[in-house]
A and B are shown apart, each in its own frame.
Chain A
Amino acid sequence: LWYLFSPSVDKAWKELTNILSGIFCASLNFIDSTNTVTPTASFKPLGLANGTDHRLLRYTVLPREVVCTENLTPWKKLLPCGSKAGLAVLLKAERLFHSSYHSQAVHIRPICRDASCLAVSWELRQTLTVVFDSFCSSQGKKDWSLFKMFSRTLTDACPLASESKVYVDISPKNKEKELLEVTPAPTSVHEAVVQGDKRTYAVYDLLSPSLFNTSRSLNVQLKWKRPQDSSELPTPVLHAQRYVSGYGLQTGQICTLIYNTHPYRAFPVMLLETVPWYLRLYVHTLTITTKGKENKPSYIHYEPAQDRRRPHLLEMLIQLPASSVTKITIQFERALLKWTEYTPDPNHGFYVGSSVLSALLPSVIAMKDVDVEQSPLFTSLFPSSDGSSYFVRLYTEPLLVNLPTPDFSMPYNVICLTCTVVAVCYGSFYNLLTRTFQGGGGLAKRLANIIRRFRGVPPL
């Protein structure tokens, strides 16, 4: 979650998280100062904004929370037709969560109301990303249809919608055409440059009446004409991996590997790391190596954590040479928590949120400036700053770190044992060590001495 505020940030942030938590049935109310940071360079305001003061920005991530059906329902209610009509009829929770990947997002930003830009409107954009596992459901075949995936077909557009389209990526691979076919025939074909690559899309416009002429419903199907060998997947230009190395419960090391697979272009990447306070980072151990040599970041911003108040924040601008792997390591020590601070399942481990990589990637082919008016969807989904590069933001995987955990089942035993040991052993040993033993006397003499002390007479 990230948000840019007008002044009185912290109060507004708290209100916002609680409101959002209510709207989306999500545990966003767990956001507090211990997991919120103020990044300086990784995020920029979207849409109309005149202030670029980074102090007004807040960013947080709750790696423990996962998206589930109860978050989908309120999300669907924000749509103009709910899930009653239009594309949203496809969103059946049972199918959406029977998939490999699921992500839903809500973006709000101020935009101009009209061309003259005298008044401000708010734009609400909702995105839902689902990856279906065709391998799992169709025995290795890669054909699909809307019905197969969603167990629903499209019947009409939402009456409130001004535009309602289905895009199917039919870009030819390796210059071979006609490998696949889509049925029914698309209403039009759209060509666009997406993330530095030329793509062809078949477009089904639900608002055009010709679609529903022949049959009542639209069931887009894609068939491969001959079986594909899928052994070559294109590797993305920028990807990253993060893990915890080392073993034992005292120290450890967070490693981030950033891959630049571009054959000849180097580019800078902005890395944002937030680490909870109970991992005590040793900043002097921060090393960045590329191809065996040290790589000095051109910009670095570090805010140390404060126990129980604020997480670590580390922002770096790193130059990635062409076709290289950059390894960033930083060592940490695991803190001992107070026993009430442990989560109910302490042996599961504690999460460290994903780090954020923001980069302007050089594109493979020259892009022409896409006309915003012509295809608003593509420019907002795949923004590009100019013709030669496009913007990418990556989130690495969250980490699971084990902290030293007491055995919660036996605090009573521990208290009893410790008290007994202290009382019995320490007392008697102290006694034995500090006393001088003299022959005779014993109990009688001691008693006599006590009595004499009461009487105010010097002891024997």
Chain B
Amino acid sequence: MGLLSDPQCRRALARLVVRLNTPLCALSYAAGLAWFLALAAPPLAPRTQMSENAMGSTMVEENFQLGARALAYARQFGARKAAAGAMPVTWLEQTLWALGLEPHRQPFARTLPFPDEARERYMVRGTNVYGILRAPRAAGTEALVLSAPCSEGPRNDQAVGLLLALAEFFRGQIYWAKDIIFLVNEHDLLGMEAWLEAYHDVNVTAVRSSGPLGRAGAIQAAVALELSSDVVTSLDVAVEGLNGQLPNLDLLNLFHAFCQKNGLLCTIQGKLPRGDGDSLPAYGQSLRTLLLMALAQASGRPRGDHGLFLRYRVEALTLRGVNSFRQHKYDMTAVGRTLEGMFRKLNNLLERLHQSYFFYLLPSLSRFVSIGLYMPAFGFLLLVLILKALDLWMKLNKGDAGERLEDGGEDPRPGLLALVPPVLICHGAGLALYFVPVLAQRAAAQHFPVSEAEGVVLTAVAIYVAGMALPHSTHRALAGAGERGWMALKLLALLDLALLLGCLALLNFSLGFLLAALMVPGAAAVQPTGPRVLQAAVLVLATPAGAVLLGVLAQRELEEAPAAAGEGWPLFLGAVGEGLLQHHLYGAVLCPVLALGAYPAWLLLWNVLFWK
């Protein structure tokens, strides 16, 4: 700071920033990307360790033997479900009652903002059934949740079976200090959202549910279970929740510890770590896992039923049984024992999980990158925008001072008022993009040969593309500002973008970083002079919609199921529709962030490019 208050040093620094601006920007951008790629390497990703004392040193002994019973329950449940065509509510209640639990049901209804074509649902009615195992001699102040979805077809029958078998086993034990809720939720996330809202007696979304509920105190932790086969080869764990929220790392450590104790194979993002050495293939695998996690977190979509718990500050994760072609299989008993161990340790908790990290990235299940290590990568990217903005600011000021000397007092600087119309127009376009598609779905379906869901997505795309034509229709309002005009506008756009990305990275690092990595080069380079076509191409690639498309394609590539060339467009439309639905159903913020934040900022830059 002493440097800045000394006028000479200040001048020298300013000269440095102006003269070496382009190399500095390029260097900073490269450093940011390189830092991120290096995160997957072992020196930057230390081993995970259990931080919570209550779960660390006290090992528990698992006695669960009811694997066969779990399968019998699963078959009964499947048969009843097939017979009823929906959730066998009465049967589940009776079974829970016979097991000595306190059964409850929660009917709910929800009308989607527009029909969901991927899952074929519009007006949804369902019932969640849950049983509460009351802890002996406890006052019902704390609870744990084990949930399994009741899906269509034979999917996840085994999860419900295992849930019932665990309930039967847990009921016979005396050591429980927290109530345990065994929840079977219908219509996956919709049911989960309805149950959570009813349990916490809030109404965040427009879910309607009826009747008072049985409750069991503050939920401390939750595990969602998805199993669709009688035997599993590995367990995959999903951590990313709504809006990229993550559970405390200790919960993941707990799962990892029990997998290792029971010799179960466990994966994250469906990827097995390839050895622990510093070899290149091992690094490649870590990087792929890391990127997959970043993409999943950036999408803001809950990657399992656990994702909605995180809003209520309940640490939760989803365990997914995978049955692949591996030789070695594990039966229900092994999976049940892992869950038993996890629940016993969670039962031992004295406080909520808070000791370990809440912000992390995972290159593998046994290694993590903490927030202190991944933030610099984003800082370097943001530095590009700030350097560029400084450069513009100084150029504007210097020119100002120079001209004042020449012209003797006349002030040709474009007033801030001249910048108001483009800013207003761009943000207006953002507002239109956010509100119009859902509001105008009926009109779209009447006037065009599309269904309502298609209408919403196509309206969004149409408004988006129409926004790109704005510079041609608005340049009359901006005329006369000349060279300084676009500089001032670009300065404003850069600051807008930097502010948006900075805030985003604090809330959801992956989203902030990926958006920055895509948008920063175009934003820094754009100007109305020079090769316009090339710049336009770079900018179009970096538009928020382009980011969505690239994200979808990259995810398919990393999952080793690359999308064919023709698949891109339907995938993109699907992702847009999904994003809109996620926002309206669960309150995911990706859609408003892109429509109200990133898109207007990008439109400003687009205006700069076509400045006349």
Q: CA of A257 to CA of B213 in the docked complex: distance in angstroms?
A: 10
- Quick one: which of B4, B212, B352 contacts A428, CB cutoff 8 A? B4
Q: Which residue of A lies closest to B349 (CB)?
A: A348
Residues of A within 8 A of B100 (CB): 135-136, 140
Q: CA of A241 to CA of B214 in the docked complex: distance in angstroms?
A: 9
Asked whether, in the complex, the Cβ of A246 is within 8 Å of the Cβ of B7, the reply is no
Decide yes or no whether A386 CB sits under 8 A from chain B.
no
Asked whether, in the complex, the Cβ of A243 is within 8 Å of the Cβ of B212, the reply is no
Which of A35-43, A97-105, A201-209, A266-274 is the interface stretch? A97-105
Decide yes or no whether A173 CB sits under 8 A from chain B.
no
Decide yes or no whether A57 CB sits under 8 A from chain B.
no
Residues of A within 8 A of B8 (CB): 442
Instruction: Please report which residues of chain A, range 252-268, place their CB below 8 angstroms from some CB of chain B when the two chains form the complex.
Output: 253, 255, 257
Asked whether, in the complex, the Cβ of A397 is within 8 Å of the Cβ of B141, the reply is yes
Residues of B within 8 A of A133 (CB): 136
- Quick one: which of A97, A140, A435 contacts B5, CB cutoff 8 A? A435
Mask: chain A, 393-420; 1 = CB below 8 Å from B; 0 = not: 0000111111001000000000000000
Asked whether, in the complex, the Cβ of B201 is within 8 Å of the Cβ of A255, the reply is yes
Decide yes or no whether A439 CB sits under 8 A from chain B.
yes
Interface of B is mostly: loop
Known A247-B311, A349-B218, A402-B313: A66·B7 in contact at CB below 8 Å:
no
Q: In the complex, what's the smallest C-beta–C-beta distance from A290 to chain B, in angstroms?
A: 13
**Residue from the set A346, A399, A400, A438 with the largest chain B CB neighbour count within 10 Å:** A400
Asked whether, in the complex, the Cβ of A347 is within 8 Å of the Cβ of B351, the reply is yes
Residues of A within 8 A of B313 (CB): 247-248, 402
Residues of B within 8 A of A253 (CB): 201
Decide yes or no whether A424 CB sits under 8 A from chain B.
yes
Known A135-B100, A257-B212: A432·B5 in contact at CB below 8 Å:
yes
Decide yes or no whether A351 CB sits under 8 A from chain B.
yes
Residues of B within 8 A of A351 (CB): 141
Asked whether, in the complex, the Cβ of B218 is within 8 Å of the Cβ of A400, the reply is yes
Interface size on A, as a range, is 35 or more
Decide yes or no whether A231 CB sits under 8 A from chain B.
yes
Asked whether, in the complex, the Cβ of B7 is within 8 Å of the Cβ of A243, the reply is no
Residues of B within 8 A of A97 (CB): 137
Q: In the complex, what's the smallest C-beta–C-beta distance from A299 to chain B, in angstroms?
A: 26
Q: In the complex, what's the smallest C-beta–C-beta distance from A311 to chain B, in angstroms?
A: 18
Residues of B within 8 A of A99 (CB): 136-137
Asked whether, in the complex, the Cβ of A397 is within 8 Å of the Cβ of B140, the reply is yes
Q: CA of A400 to CA of B134 in the docked complex: distance in angstroms?
A: 16
Asked whether, in the complex, the Cβ of B139 is within 8 Å of the Cβ of A398, the reply is yes
Decide yes or no whether A339 CB sits under 8 A from chain B.
no
Known A135-B171, A247-B313: A63·B215 in contact at CB below 8 Å:
no
Residues of B within 8 A of A425 (CB): 1
Q: CA of A397 to CA of B214 in the docked complex: distance in angstroms?
A: 13
Decide yes or no whether A345 CB sits under 8 A from chain B.
yes
Residues of B within 8 A of A345 (CB): 350-351
Asked whether, in the complex, the Cβ of A348 is within 8 Å of the Cβ of B350, the reply is yes
Q: CA of A431 to CA of B351 in the docked complex: distance in angstroms?
A: 47
Q: CA of A442 to CA of B12 in the docked complex: distance in angstroms?
A: 14
Decide yes or no whether B6 CB sits under 8 A from chain A.
yes
Decide yes or no whether B472 CB sits under 8 A from chain A.
no
Decide yes or no whether B217 CB sits under 8 A from chain A.
yes
Asked whether, in the complex, the Cβ of B136 is within 8 Å of the Cβ of A100, the reply is yes
Decide yes or no whether B274 CB sits under 8 A from chain A.
no
Residues of B within 8 A of A244 (CB): 218
Q: CA of A135 to CA of B134 in the docked complex: distance in angstroms?
A: 13
Decide yes or no whether B400 CB sits under 8 A from chain A.
no
Asked whether, in the complex, the Cβ of B141 is within 8 Å of the Cβ of A399, the reply is yes
Decide yes or no whether B174 CB sits under 8 A from chain A.
yes
Q: Which residue of B lies closest to A345 (CB)?
A: B351
Q: CA of A400 to CA of B1 in the docked complex: distance in angstroms?
A: 48
Asked whether, in the complex, the Cβ of A397 is within 8 Å of the Cβ of B137, the reply is no
Mask: chain B, 208-235; 1 = CB below 8 Å from A; 0 = not: 0000100101100000000000000000
Known A97-B137, A397-B217, A437-B7: A247·B171 in contact at CB below 8 Å:
no
**Residue from the set A244, A247, A427, A431 with the largest chain B CB neighbour count within 10 Å:** A247
Instruction: Please report which residues of chain B, range 1-16, place their CB below 8 angstroms from some CB of chain A when the two chains form the complex.
Output: 1-2, 4-8
Residues of A within 8 A of B311 (CB): 247
Decide yes or no whether B403 CB sits under 8 A from chain A.
no
Q: In the complex, what's the smallest C-beta–C-beta distance from B245 to chain A, in angstroms?
A: 13
Residues of B within 8 A of A66 (CB): 137
- Quick one: which of A231, A243, A428 contacts B1, CB cutoff 8 A? A428
- Quick one: which of A100, A241, A399, A400 contacts B212, CB cutoff 8 A? A241
Residues of A within 8 A of B435 (CB): none
Q: In the complex, what's the smallest C-beta–C-beta distance from B350 to chain A, in angstroms?
A: 6
Q: CA of A399 to CA of B171 in the docked complex: distance in angstroms?
A: 24
Q: In the complex, what's the smallest C-beta–C-beta distance from A61 to chain B, in angstroms?
A: 11
Residues of B within 8 A of A320 (CB): none
Asked whether, in the complex, the Cβ of A349 is within 8 Å of the Cβ of B137, the reply is no
Q: CA of A399 to CA of B141 in the docked complex: distance in angstroms?
A: 6
Residues of A within 8 A of B4 (CB): 428, 432
Q: CA of A442 to CA of B2 in the docked complex: distance in angstroms?
A: 12
Mask: chain B, 537-574; 1 = CB below 8 Å from A; 0 = not: 00000000000000000000000000000000000000
Residues of B within 8 A of A349 (CB): 218, 352
Known A243-B201, A247-B202: A402·B352 in contact at CB below 8 Å:
yes
Decide yes or no whether B275 CB sits under 8 A from chain A.
no
Q: CA of A429 to CA of B4 in the docked complex: distance in angstroms?
A: 9
Decide yes or no whether B449 CB sits under 8 A from chain A.
no
Q: In the complex, what's the smallest C-beta–C-beta distance from A33 to chain B, in angstroms?
A: 24
Decide yes or no whether B354 CB sits under 8 A from chain A.
yes
Mask: chain B, 134-165; 1 = CB below 8 Å from A; 0 = not: 10110111100000000000000000000000
Asked whether, in the complex, the Cβ of B141 is within 8 Å of the Cβ of A136, the reply is no
Decide yes or no whether A325 CB sits under 8 A from chain B.
yes
Q: In the complex, what's the smallest C-beta–C-beta distance from A80 to chain B, in angstroms?
A: 28
Instruction: Please report which residues of chain A, range 343-388, place their CB below 8 angstroms from some CB of chain B when the two chains form the complex.
Output: 345-349, 351, 354
Asked whether, in the complex, the Cβ of B6 is within 8 Å of the Cβ of A246, the reply is no
Q: CA of A368 to CA of B96 in the docked complex: distance in angstroms?
A: 42
Asked whether, in the complex, the Cβ of A246 is within 8 Å of the Cβ of B201, the reply is yes
Interface pairs A-B: 7 shortest CB-CB: A428-B1, A245-B201, A347-B351, A400-B141, A348-B351, A135-B100, A247-B312
Q: List 11 A-B contacts (CB under 8 A).
A: A98-B174, A99-B136, A136-B174, A243-B201, A246-B201, A248-B313, A347-B351, A398-B139, A402-B352, A432-B4, A432-B5
B residues whose Cβ falls under 8 Å from a Cβ of A: 1-2, 4-8, 94, 97, 100, 134, 136-137, 139-142, 171-174, 200-202, 212, 215, 217-218, 311-313, 350-352, 354
Known: A246-B200, A400-B142. 17 other contacts (CB 8 A): A101-B136, A135-B100, A136-B171, A136-B173, A245-B202, A246-B201, A247-B313, A347-B351, A348-B351, A349-B352, A397-B140, A397-B217, A398-B141, A401-B218, A428-B4, A432-B5, A442-B8
